[in-house]
Amino acid sequence: MNHLVSGGAGFIGSHLVDALLARGDEVLILDDLSTGSRENVENALASQRAELVEGSVCDEALVAECAECVDTCFHLASAVGVELIVRRPLESLLRNVRGADVVAAAACRLDKRLLFASTSEIYGKSNHGALREDSDRVLGPPAVARWSYSTAKAFGEAVSLGYHREQGAETVIARLFNTVGARQAGTHGMVLPRFVEQALRGDDLTVYGSGEQSRCFAHVDDTVRALIALMDTEVARGGTFNVGGSAEIKVLDLAQMVIERTGSTSGIRHVPYEEAYGEGFEEPDSRRPDTSALEALTGWAPTLGVEDAIDDVAALCLTASI
């Protein structure tokens, strides 16, 4: 098989590329390197079965050219990270909307299977137990920049499903919940790598708000297995599936876990949301996925925990500093 992975030089995308190559496939990576890096895919490129095309998913001609020579398209390219989205909401909104439209249209026109990577941000502030794929969305006002990302991803889902329902496109949607692991950068507000980097420097870990907010984290290797399983499962076409870990942990407890596993002497410093992200920022108290649909269809189950992700991030940070 030959695959197009948009955003393939990014955190999740590069791990997906590695997994596809490991099973003997070939990969064409399309990435503008705005948040990804060539370093993430150096080993993949050295295999001679992966190629990197530097460019934007908003470039219709380039996307069509790339999609023509593959069997499937994994669309992971996206403006990500709470900090990036809050600081540059217009750019994030337009890149995500245009990119989703361009890739979905090309995949449909060229009769290529498409996996659209969506996000748990779809659910907004909804926090009533485990979230099912058909759970209601509860969003704040459009003036709050965070919800523009949710809106953009919802547009991508709607477009992808529209092509499936009206034109028979082979499309599947994966909603990702807090994927963590090596190669994830803390520069755009990602909590776990930020904590690990602070702990290794001996700096106090900055916990936004009270730290009582909780999340379920999925190791990137488990997320990638789910993406490949969904692409390979024919009856998944036209469906939407949550992909995430099952163990819920408070952010404050995560900070303490990072300190313990890295052997750091760091303390914990609380920072108000307003100081970190500006007035009007909204943060859900909890967000937990119901992954029963994915499990029933593919047999997928998470095999790694947040402890494994902490160790992987710390190991890469230490290697990079040597």
CA distance 295 to 13: 22
Residue in this structure with the two tokens 């990435």, named with its chain if needed: 31
DSSP classification of residue 10: S
CA distance 206 to 5: 34
Tell me whether residue 268 is exposed, middle or buried, using C-beta atoms within 10 angstroms of its C-beta: 0 to 12, 13 to 18, 19 or more.
middle
Is there a contact between 213 and 270 (Cβ–Cβ < 8 Å)? Answer: no
Q: Considering just the CA atoms, what is the radius of gyration of the chain in Å? A: 19
CA distance 270 to 84: 21
Beta partners for 26? 2
Where in the sequence numbering do the catalytic residues fall?
149
